[in-house]
Amino acid sequence: MEDVDFDELVASLTLREENTAIKSYQNTVSVTCPACEDPFDDLVVCKENPTSLNLSRQLDLCVGSVDGNAVIFTHKR
């Protein structure tokens, strides 16, 4: 994630949810994932350590970190 301008990436996404534990964004413009280079569906920024995620469906995940926070790129199957 060192080569990625995270602020620029987030500026292209749509904020969907923010609470004390997470901040989630939807990728409505097919931005590519910095890990696998395929478009991702959602980006989740974990603001607390540890953070629990309840996933309602099976997803492929790519994971990185920014400023000490885990970031998760979801890919629907």
For 35-75, the pLDDT digits (tens) are 999 999 999 999 999 888 887 888 899 999 999 999 999 99
Please classify residue 69 by burial: count the beta carbons closer than 10 Å to its beta carbon, then call 0-12 exposed, 13-18 middle and 19+ buried. middle
Is 63 inside a domain boundary?
yes
The whole-angstrom separation of Cα 19 and Cα 9 is 20
- Residue 19, pLDDT score: 93
- pLDDT-derived band of residue 3, with 50, 70 and 90 as boundaries? confident
Is 1 inside a domain boundary?
no
Range of the domain at 52: 6-76
Kindly tell me if the per-residue pLDDT of 1 is higher than 70. Answer: no
Number of domains forming the structure of the chain: 1
Residue with the two structure tokens 């989740």: 44
Is 69 inside a domain boundary?
yes
Is 18 inside a domain boundary?
yes
Specify the 3-state DSSP secondary structure of 56: coil
- pLDDT-derived band of residue 16, with 50, 70 and 90 as boundaries? very high
Is the peptide bond between 34 and the residue preceding it cis, with omega within 30 degrees of 0?
no
- Residue 41, pLDDT score: 96
**Contact status, residue 40 vs residue 31, Cβ threshold 8 Å:** yes
Is 12 inside a domain boundary?
yes
